[in-house]
Amino acid sequence: MKYFLQREGRSFGPYSFDDLKRYQSEGRIGPEDTIRAEDSEQWVAQTEFFNPPAPTPPAAPVPVFMPPAAPVFMPPPAAPSQAPNPFASPTDANPVWNPPTPPQQQPPMQSNPFAAPGAAANPFGAPPAQGGFGGPPASPGFGGPPAQGGFGAPPAQGFGGPPAGGGFAPNPAASGAWPSPPEMQWWLVLLIGVFCGFFVLYWFYTQLVFVKKIDPQSKAMKMILGGWGLLFGGVITAALLGAILGDSMAIIAGLLGMVCYLGGIILAILGIFNMRTSIERHYNTVENIGLKLSPVMTFFFNIYYFQYHFSRIAEWKKTGRLAA
């Protein structure tokens, strides 16, 4: 069964029970949020949904006093009378015996004049009148087809129906419940980064801040910033140790710098893929647009590849159409 989540008057979903349970454990379901099942119109608080009250045991039935039944008087059986003798002479004590009259046969049952040709006779009369007991239900009463727009009728054009205008159906979560991603085109980020390398670092930090907003459990920012710190810190530390210890300890300083450099790169790559996981999870569950990010493109072109999809999502949140 699927469920819907309501927050500040907006409806999200549908989700499975396991998804809602996981969102609750991650702290993504607020105390004021309400939940309903897809076959119900009643919204319940999320605390009542995840912790339903125990059913009240049925009350014991009250004993009913039954008075004892009065004894029934049965008269004694009458003595059997002696049958008359047909061969004795007729007297007052022995009247003339007359043979019993044979039983008359019942007339045959008449056929039903209202039955169809070849059908069996209907001993109960004509078929029920239109609309009477046993007849077909009148439309649109109980048992008839649902009225237009009533309970059980097909859903009207709108949420859950086919998208209007042939475009991508806008998700209710696109109405402002979640922030819009950075809107700059990827080629513009690349062009500015050619003339100002620090702009690429600033824009990557902007992307990390956005991912943290849509997934508070994301560890991408800590991993990437930690990787950068380990990378640059290791290089600077190795250079200082080489200058202090001299040529005799230069190998140790070089090995230390290489280990820090490789560790920083690996930690930054892991942070980038953690960032990819958060983006895909959000845009395949909360704001479901079926987003799939290539691991190869993420590895080689992470900043610009993410920005390409962020521009598409920002346009979708404005117009309701997802560009190819």
Structure tokens at 102: 């044979």
Nearest to 37 by CA among 29, 48, 27: 48
Helices H / strands E in the chain, number of each? 7, 4
Region 248-275 average pLDDT: 88
pLDDT-derived band of residue 294, with 50, 70 and 90 as boundaries?
A: very high
Q: Check residue 45 and give its pLDDT.
A: 84
Alpha-carbon gap, residue 203 to 210, rounded angstroms: 11
Structure tokens at 279: 């983006």
- pLDDT tens digits along 95-147: 555 666 766 766 655 555 555 555 444 444 444 445 444 545 444 444 544 44
Torsion of CA 40, 45, 46, 48, to 10 degrees: -90
- pLDDT tens digits along 202-230: 999 999 999 999 999 999 999 999 999 99
Cα distances (Å, whole numbers) of residue 239 to 249, 258, 265, 281:
11, 11, 18, 42
Structure tokens at 33: 């949020």
Q: Regarding beta strands 10-15 and 44-45, do their DSSP bridges make them parallel or antiparallel, or are they unpaired?
A: unpaired
pLDDT-derived band of residue 152, with 50, 70 and 90 as boundaries?
A: very low
pLDDT-derived band of residue 76, with 50, 70 and 90 as boundaries?
A: confident
Listed by start position, the domains of the chain span: 3-50, 179-319
Whether residue 191 has pLDDT greater than 90: yes
Torsion of CA 176, 179, 185, 187, to 10 degrees: -160
Of 314 and 33, which is predicted with more confidence?
314
Q: Check residue 110 and give its pLDDT.
A: 53
Nearest to 303 by CA among 237, 205, 228, 156: 205
Q: What is the pTM of this model?
A: 0.46
Cα distances (Å, whole numbers) of residue 306 to 186, 217, 324:
8, 19, 15
